[in-house]
Amino acid sequence: MSLERTEPNYFGAGPALLPTSVLQQAAKDMINFQGLGLGAGEISHRSAAGGNIIESTKKHLAELLDVPDTHEVFFMQGGGTTGFSAVPTNLSASFAKKTGKKGKPAYVITGSWSKKAAEEAQRLGFDPEIVVDSKKVDGKFGGIPAVEKWSIPADLSNTSYVYFCDNETVNGVEFPDFPFDKFPGVEIVADMSSNFLSKKIDVSKYGCILAGAQKNVGLAGITIYIIKKSLLEYPSDEELTKLNIPLTPIAFEFPIVVKNNSAYNTVPTFTVHIVDLVLQLLAEKGGLANQQKVNEEKAKLLYAALDKYPSVFNLPVEKSVRSKMNVVFTLAKGTDSDFLNAAEEKKLQGLKGHRSVGGMRASLYNAVSLDSVKLLCEFVEDFGSKNA
């Protein structure tokens, strides 16, 4: 079987496209990793080779994102859902260590994923403060209300953390900037699953960042975390129980995972290795400054093509907060199948919208080339002109 392939024009939201060169190297490493005679998925996560994979990936991520010494990088099984489910107990334990109180988290809801995260915090017994729910403000998910419209607690001393989703994969909404200066002294937790490493960020502003790898940096099954080292100190289990803070399952307790270098239990070394290959390729191509420039160009081209035919394409997201990763739209004329079937004929794949909202969604993750986006724009222009 050949390791060559025709470059796909694939716009799926995840698991998403990976660079062909990464997959080719990964295929070789799956058979024989660094001359060991074993594949990268067969070696023990606690062996020297397994430990080297973890250390190499941490190193390359820290270099690419300019992660400060105040923060720690680690990996856990799962995806974004595992991440937001693990946040309430972990961040509340950290808050309890500092204050002796359970505290109350605050959630910013701007789409499906932040809504799910808030619901999980509620289910786990943390009674989150909803700072803003854009659907309740605007009647739909498609914008981010101005900070002046947020219900920010006057006294933040009992706010354990603020949680938000930087890019809403389903709804196509992305924060254009960092609006959390109104929460001085409060730890900011960000789900960046679908725009991680798509742009430069100041990691020092965040208490915790989590990102499922399957969008921009790897395969499904691994989540990347970056957390302040100062947040890795917890009270005893007995103290947490007295404060009515549920205990975190041990495999997902952040200090335990960090102490064991992401290998407390069986971390999928092959999946982590693929992340490392992607990180190295990003660095070779000019780092995040270059990748951000390319991503901005891709989004600009596609939005311009769609905006050209307002009688054909409905774009539900306010222009100021349109996602550069997930471009969502519906048809004013024709049916979804008309568009999707015609796109498939052009070998433009993965454009069906999320089942909860329908329509179309073009995900422009890092591995989606500018050439692929130009082909999609040509198709949009053709479809738009014929149906206007």
- Whether the bond between 15 and the residue before it is cis, its omega within 30 degrees of 0, is yes
CA 217 to chain centre: 10
Indicate which residue of 58, 115, 199, 215 is catalytic: 215
Residue 146 neighbours by CB distance under 10 Å? 10
- Reference 234, options 222, 226, 246; nearest CA is 246
Q: Decide: 107 and 118 in contact? Cβ < 8 Å.
A: yes
Report strand pairing: 208-212 vs 326-331: unpaired
Q: Decide: 272 and 73 in contact? Cβ < 8 Å.
A: no
* β partners of residue 159: 104
135 is written with which tokens? 């659907």
3-state secondary structure at position 174:
strand
Q: Is 200 a catalytic residue?
A: no
Q: Decide: 48 and 34 in contact? Cβ < 8 Å.
A: no
Angstrom distance (rounded) from CA 214 to CA 198: 13
Q: Is 215 a catalytic residue?
A: yes
Indicate which residue of 29, 113, 115, 116 is catalytic: 113
Angstrom distance (rounded) from CA 230 to CA 157: 18
Q: Decide: 387 and 21 in contact? Cβ < 8 Å.
A: no
251 is written with which tokens? 């495999």
Q: Is 113 a catalytic residue?
A: yes
Indicate which residue of 191, 199, 324, 352 is catalytic: 191
Who's near 365: CB < 8 A, 6+ residues apart? 14, 16, 17, 194, 198, 215, 216, 325
Residue 355 neighbours by CB distance under 10 Å? 7
Active site residues: 113, 191, 215
